[in-house]
Amino acid sequence: MIDPFGRTISYLRVSVTDRCDFRCVYCMAEDMTFLPKAEILTLEELDRLCSAFVRRGVRKLRLTGGEPLVRKNVMGLVRSLSRHLGSGALDDLTLTTNGSQLARYAGELAHCGVRRVNVSIDTLDAKKFTAITRWGRLDQVFEGVAAAKSAGLAVKINAVALKGVNEHEFDELIEWCGKEGFDLTLIEVMPMGDIGGENRVDQYLPLSLVRARLSQRWTLEDIDYRSGGPARYVRIAETGRRLGFITPLTHNFCESCNRVRLTCTGTLYMCLGQDDAADLRQPLRASPDDHLLEAAIDDAIARKPKGHDFIIDRRHQAPAVARHMSVTGG
């Protein structure tokens, strides 16, 4: 699939549920209203949709959410999608998780051919972790991460950079990741969804500043490595591990965008930072064969926008994008 700007679309991120067992302050309001179950695609429908994308040329699938591992029988979906790894149609089946359920599922994920997972940990301080996630327990996540490591999964840690919250903890995270053998990616907070009383301006910490600070303590070597996602990487000479920066605000990463995002209701977003979307549930349900669906996918890719322009400033108090990250998946 090639979009109007010549970009090959080979990466599909799928939010398998909008529900989560955490309520991270930058992601969700505490009293979220979730979708009624009837609106959510069944696991069989998600499989059909993902498989249609694989047939159209997607080589990398990432399951996300909400929290993908809280969806009932999600491992049934992972098992069935893993047939595309076996056939060679898919290079990579992976997921982004908060780690709370990883201790239970890491072994089976590895068994299905998943080779790596992204785990979101913004701080190594247990009290602060609970303050950020509202409902999370860091020891449970550590158990999950340890299980992933011993199952042979490569672990990448994702941390959202939050002004005044974890901005002085990145040295510690880098050291810990170095010791554990994990890569680390820092993410700028994006203005997505109403998050209740919290204010984006107060949360926003530009990664250009973080990078400048880190370079006083660590040797950051530029490398060409690309994971297929939006992060730009350096290698930290002292730990030998990679450090990624996802900077939608300080640097527009759209020119190399190879991704589209599917929600658990079958809505396809061609850009994380734009509202245009295509309903794939209707063509999926309209016919038992996939002709209508594949035509709708092609139409949607032909509408992929050039890029987004997130802005966070005091004049833009409303989120740039109304939906929460948990809808489209991070």
> Is 100 one of the binding residues for ligand SAM (CB under 6 A)?
no
Member of 187, 243, 284, 301 binding ligand SAM (CB under 6 A): 187
Q: How many CA atoms lie within 13 A of 17 on its CB side?
A: 18
Q: How far is the CB of 200 from ligand SAM (least distance, A)?
A: 8
Q: How far apart are CA 102 and CA 117, in angstroms?
A: 10
Member of 120, 247, 258, 267 binding ligand SAM (CB under 6 A): 120
Instruction: Specify the DSSP class assigned to residue 71.
Output: S
Our CB check for ligand SAM shows the closer of 98 and 239 to be 98
Residues 6+ apart with CB under 8 A from 269: 260, 261, 262, 263, 276, 277, 328
Coil/strand/helix, residue 31: coil
Q: Where does residue 88 rank: exposed (0-12), middle (13-18), buried (19+ CB within 10 A)? A: exposed
Q: Which helix (H) or strand (E) holds 244?
A: strand 242-246
Q: Which stretch binds ligand SAM (CB under 6 A): 24-32, 143-151, 219-227, 263-271?
A: 24-32
Our CB check for ligand SAM shows the closer of 65 and 178 to be 65
> Would you state the structure tokens that stand for residue 300, as one six-digit string?
């949607």
> Is 47 one of the binding residues for ligand SAM (CB under 6 A)?
no
> Is 329 one of the binding residues for ligand SAM (CB under 6 A)?
yes
Q: How far is the CB of 267 from ligand SAM (least distance, A)?
A: 16
> Is 98 one of the binding residues for ligand SAM (CB under 6 A)?
yes
CA 152 to each of CA 138, 149, 155, 157, 180: distance values in angstroms, whole numbers, following the listed order: 21, 5, 9, 15, 13
Q: How far apart are CA 209 and CA 25, in angstroms?
A: 22
> Is 17 one of the binding residues for ligand SAM (CB under 6 A)?
no
Q: Residues in contact with ligand SAM, total (CB under 6 A)?
A: 21
Member of 67, 169, 183, 290 binding ligand SAM (CB under 6 A): 67
> Is 97 one of the binding residues for ligand SAM (CB under 6 A)?
yes
> Would you state the structure tokens that stand for residue 222, as one six-digit string?
């530029």
Rg of the chain (C-alpha set): 19
Member of 17, 64, 101, 123 binding ligand SAM (CB under 6 A): 64
DSSP string, 303-327: T--S------STT--S-SBSS-HHH
The residue nearest ligand SAM at its CB is 330
> Is 94 one of the binding residues for ligand SAM (CB under 6 A)?
no
User: Which residue matches tokens 């979220």?
Assistant: 32
Q: Which stretch binds ligand SAM (CB under 6 A): 21-29, 33-41, 83-91, 307-315?
A: 21-29
> Is 239 one of the binding residues for ligand SAM (CB under 6 A)?
no
> Is 20 one of the binding residues for ligand SAM (CB under 6 A)?
yes
**Interface residue list for ligand SAM (CB under 6 A):** 20, 24, 26-27, 64-65, 67, 96-98, 120, 158, 160, 187, 189-190, 192, 325-326, 329-330
